[in-house]
Amino acid sequence: MNGSFPRFLKVAVFAPLRSFFDYLYPTHSTDAIAPGCRVMVPFGRSTRIGMVVGAAETSHIDKPKLKAICEVLDLTPIIDPSLLSLAAWAIDYYHCPPGEVYEALLPGELRRGNALRTSEKEFWKITESGKKMLVTGHKLGPRQRETLLRASDGELSRDALGSERVTLNRVIADCTRRGWLYSMRRAVLPDPLVIPYDNFLALNPAQTAAMTHLQGIKTGYRTHLLHGVTGSGKTEIYLHLVRDVVAVGGQALILIPEIGLTEQLVKRFEARFGTLVAVLHSGLGERARAEVWQRCKTQEIRVLLGTRSAVWLPLPELRLIVVDEEHDQSYKQQEGLRYSARDIAVVRAHRVGIPIVLGSATPSLESLLNCDRGKYQYVAIPSRAAGATLPRIQVLDIRGLHVEAGLSEPLQAAIKLRASRGEQSLIFLNRRGFAPVVLCHRCGWIASCPRCDARLVIHKEEQQLRCHHCGTARNLKARFAGHPCGELTTFASVGVGTEQLESAMPILFPGLRAIRIDRDSMTRKGELERAFETINAGDVDILVGTQMIAKGHDFSRVTLVGIVDGDSGLLATDFRAEERFVQLIMQVAGRAGRGINSGEVLIQSHHPHHPAFEYLKRGDYREFADHALRERSAAELPPETTLALLRAEATERPIPLRFLQQLVATLKPLLPAGVTLGGPIPALMERRIGKFRANLLLTSHDRATLSEAITLMLRQIDHCPLARKVRWSLDVDAQEIA
């Protein structure tokens, strides 16, 4: 072995283990192995794939126990240094298993150790002897001559052969064998100048002002929070920013929420940037994902639109990141590798040294606080582009009013009025199914899930009782243990779901056309698209839907938005419930009045004087956010403080709680000052999918202190006798803490 080599390699093995592993260089190897190369390593009794992350002179493991790498899978790194450093950051910050983060950087095939497929194309160039043949080669056939002539004029590509492809292929192979041509491979980069630049709208004064802000510092890292009301033209600004990046050969990453409804946004990007755009979403198969990964790496793709996981894709010429709807909860992965794609994106921009724009009509309190603290730049667009006005938000006091299928008489009247004017109404209810509670009309038994602490929801169309937490689905006539009557022959229901709302439409509004949009009614491919077409064509009077219609989609004919249940969001226990409620209402409100007629939002409530409604009525999100930030600060809750949640679950009820109690007993004396423990307590829904769950919360004003406490805690877990009997997970910056 070359004496100047470091002696050990640090490897992130692709396994859910919270440490790196040291290995010796492969025997007989004389080459350095760079970070970012995959290797096959002995692991226990078998082998595993992992990624080299560094080299070292020393190892804390005794040399006789160290094993050597079995095989080097990549001769050159497949992950570039900026992504390697991003991964290192994520491992540190989220305290997660290193192998899982490096796996997130790779498409499935590469995780399993397959070779990198190249999307390179083959070219031929003429050699010196080929040139000589052209001058002296009287023995050349006409096809050979033609081929050499074409190759002598720069280079010959397979694509250029056109219809003669089949015949010329053989001639080319022959010329290559004789040494007259040589072949080479390289990726084909599209020409950014093909963008039709006149396809862009001229920005209005408010957009121009925002743009000037965003471009103020053209190079270098900077996080901008673009707070623009729905319809203020944020997307148009993104398009302009991306254009500037692509024009100089750069790449742009646009993160979008996971709602399957961003079709309109994707179309707008494709219309401007054509084949330079690719979309990465959860519906893509492994092959397609691998291809997008590859084409990003070769820079064929200049504009990558993608949900959460797109933040990990290789983009060597990355010059801009945009996170659209930055407050959206889908950016937080809730299982496995629990990360926030928005936060990773900010760190990525910082590492690469490029600007990032976080856009939203209802920014997260986290991002607003970062603006207040001077970490992010705040840019606002207060009014709608294209002249449309924002809808007026009003609260309907429904106390004592007659309500049918969830709709009060004033709301019914408002819907009828719109329909008589040829306008559409959108009725929002974030609850699927017919009714959330079902009772046996004979004995009063309540249908609940056998695996969760939850009620079963009745879905009349499918004649099913379903659990919305674990997916359990039973026939309405099924026999349940504990139900004295055995079978549900007649039932009563409490509460209203979208299915019930839809079925009441012909009764409440004879002659009007209604359509329901939720996950149950839109299951087939293309169905949603068709529904949107019907709506936009004006062939519908009433839209009933869940949050599937709340985000991302514009309905220009909708002038009334009815919020059926304006109470549930305000009565929830989660400290973020109010923030989410206000965001959701403002997002739904943003769907209305995009056309020439201004819109109106009616919120039904039994608590019309709740302070949150005052902010909604004034339509001032910033004012609401400032108030909420003050509350969080007083209560020492995020974003004022930082938190991490340790969850434990087991099949026996007392085990998770006891495990956390054991942990707390050993951890408490070691905890750094300034860290508060919350719990341990059973989860709000203690039993879920047959497992009992308990939580322990760690909070601190200082992120570094919190991180230190987590490190200590993870070390203590191994000393807890019950650790082997539970499954536990750590969620740094948890969004769901109940």
Contacts with Zn ion by CB under 5 A lie at 449, 451-452, 467, 469-470, 472
Q: Does 230 bind ligand ADP (CB under 6 A)?
A: yes
According to CB under 6 A, which one of 386, 413, 417, 635 is a site residue for ligand ADP? 386
Least Å distance, CB 201 to ligand ADP, is: 4
234 binds, among ligand ADP, Zn ion, none (CB under 5 to 8 A by kind): ligand ADP
Interface residue with ligand ADP, options 99, 130, 228, 433 (CB under 6 A)? 228
Residue 204 CB, nearest approach to Zn ion (Å): 50
**The two structure tokens encoding residue 409:** 């008489």
Q: Which of residues 413-442 bind ligand ADP (CB under 6 A)?
A: none
Binding-residue total with ligand ADP (CB under 6 A): 15
What is the Cα–Cα distance from 2 to 379, expressed in whole angstroms?
56
Q: Which residue has the tokens 């698209």?
A: 529
Cα separation of 518 and 537, whole Å?
20
Q: Which DSSP category does 159 fall into? A: G
Which is nearer to Zn ion, 624 or 692 (by Cβ)?
A: 692
Shorter beta-carbon distance to Zn ion: residue 611 or 690: 690
Task: Name the minimum Å distance from CB 588 to ligand ADP.
Answer: 13
Please, what is the minimum distance in Å from the beta carbon of residue 203 to ligand ADP? 5
Helix crossing, 128-136 with 142-152: angle to 10°? 130
Angstrom CA distances, 223 to 213, 315, 360, stand at: 12, 19, 14
Q: Are 675 and 713 in contact (CB under 8 A)?
A: no
- Cβ–Cβ under 8 Å, residues 81 and 73: no
Please list every residue from 620 through 649 that binds ligand ADP, using CB under 6 A. none
Q: Considering beta carbons, is residue 459 or 551 the nearer one to ligand ADP?
A: 551
- Residue 201 makes contact with ligand ADP by CB under 6 A: yes
Residue 553 interacts with ligand ADP (CB under 6 A)?
no
Is 360 a binding residue for ligand ADP by CB under 6 A? The answer is no
d(CA 64, CA 11): 18
207 binds ligand ADP (CB under 6 A): yes
Q: Does 233 bind ligand ADP (CB under 6 A)?
A: yes
By the rule CB under 6 A, 385 interacts with ligand ADP: yes
**Smallest separation (angstroms) from ligand ADP to the CB of 233:** 3
Planar angle of CA 524, 554, 601, nearest 5 degrees: 110
**CB nearer Zn ion, residue 1 or residue 685:** 685
Q: In the complex with ligand ADP, which residue's Cβ is closer, 237 or 616?
A: 237
> Which one of Zn ion, ligand ADP, none is in contact with 232 (Cβ closer than 5 to 8 A by kind)?
ligand ADP
Choose, by CB under 6 A, the member of 127, 144, 147, 204 that binds ligand ADP: 204
Q: From Zn ion, ligand ADP, none, which one binds at residue 451 (CB under 5 to 8 Å depending on kind)? A: Zn ion
Say which amino acid occupies 261.
L
CB of 385 to ligand ADP, least distance (A): 4
Residue 258 tokens read as 């996971």
Q: Which of residues 699-738 bind ligand ADP (CB under 6 A)?
A: none
Q: What amino acid occupies position 131?
A: K
Which class for 44: exposed (0-12), middle (13-18), buried (19 or more C-beta within 10 A)? exposed
Name 387's Cβ contacts closer than 8 Å, sequence gap at least 6.
Answer: none
* CB nearer Zn ion, residue 276 or residue 467: 467
User: What's the burial of 28, exposed, middle or buried (CB within 10 Å: 0-12/13-18/19+)?
Assistant: exposed
How many Cα atoms occupy the beta-carbon half-sphere of 344 within 13 Å?
A: 32
Min. distance of Cβ 674 from Zn ion in angstroms?
39
Question: Which ranges in 522-620 belong to alpha helices (H)?
Answer: 527-536, 568-571, 577-589, 611-618
| Residue 213 contact, options ligand ADP, Zn ion, none, Cβ 5-8 Å cut-off depending on partner type | none
Say how many CA atoms lie within 13 Å of 700 toward its Cβ.
17
Bridge partners (DSSP) listed for residue 50: 13, 39
Query: How many residues make up the chain in this entry?
Result: 738
**Interface with ligand ADP (CB under 6 A):** 201-204, 207, 228, 230-236, 385-386
